[in-house]
């Protein structure tokens, strides 16, 4: 299937799959085999926004700026990420790509440290809004009252989100 904006698309070699899944396991602290099985076939699609990795035809991982992260449609992987729950006033800002600011954080779920991947969800429905990188530890996020807490790397409505919908 041709997807607009994809410059190339090919299956990874076995060694490339191993490297990708090792990076994934380190970032999410989960055994990749739990989610992908023992010998997965993974495709890489080059886009202007990111490298997108497809498993069984689904765009489940992406790499942008050297950072590997699960896409917002990879529910199985998202369930392993610690969460930052934001109030409904923060939702439109996060969906427009803004970083998460301390006043919008209602609570955190799971333990995390600076540099860890996080899932940002809304407080009302728990819907995933963004995948981001923690700028502070969980303890620091709970203590501060102003400033940035999470740097957004992928959010609902971004260019990658639009590409993900095209793969489906």
d(CA 136, CA 165): 32
Q: What is the mean pLDDT of the chain?
A: 94
Q: Where are the domains of the chain?
A: 8-74, 78-155
Q: What is the mean pLDDT of residues 103-130?
A: 97
Give the CATH class of 8-74: alpha beta
Tell me how far CA of residue 120 lies from CA of 36, 68, 107, in angstroms. 24, 17, 11
d(CA 46, CA 37): 24
pTM above 0.85, yes or no: yes
pLDDT reported for residue 3: 66
User: What is 78-155's CATH number?
Assistant: 2.30.130.10
pLDDT tens profile 45-91: 998 889 999 999 999 999 999 999 999 999 999 999 999 999 999 99
């Amino acid at each position: 299937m041709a997807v607009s904006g994809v410059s190339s698309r090919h299956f990874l070699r076995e060694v490339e799959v191993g490297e990708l899944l090792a990076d994934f396991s380190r970032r999410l602290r989960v055994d990749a085999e739990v989610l992908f099985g023992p010998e997965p076939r993974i495709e890489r699609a080059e886009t202007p926004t990111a490298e997108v990795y497809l498993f069984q035809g689904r765009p489940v991982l992406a790499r942008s700026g050297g950072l590997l992260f699960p896409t917002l449609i990879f529910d199985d992987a998202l369930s392993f990420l610690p969460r930052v729950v934001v109030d409904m006033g923060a939702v439109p800002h996060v969906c427009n790509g803004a970083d998460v600011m301390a006043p919008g954080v209602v609570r955190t779920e799971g333990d995390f440290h600076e540099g860890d991947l996080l899932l940002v969800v809304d407080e009302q429905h728990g819907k995933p809004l963004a995948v981001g990188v923690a700028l502070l530890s969980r303890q620091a996020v709970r203590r501060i009252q102003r400033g940035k807490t999470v740097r957004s790397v992928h959010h609902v409505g971004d260019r990658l989100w639009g590409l993900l919908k095209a793969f489906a």
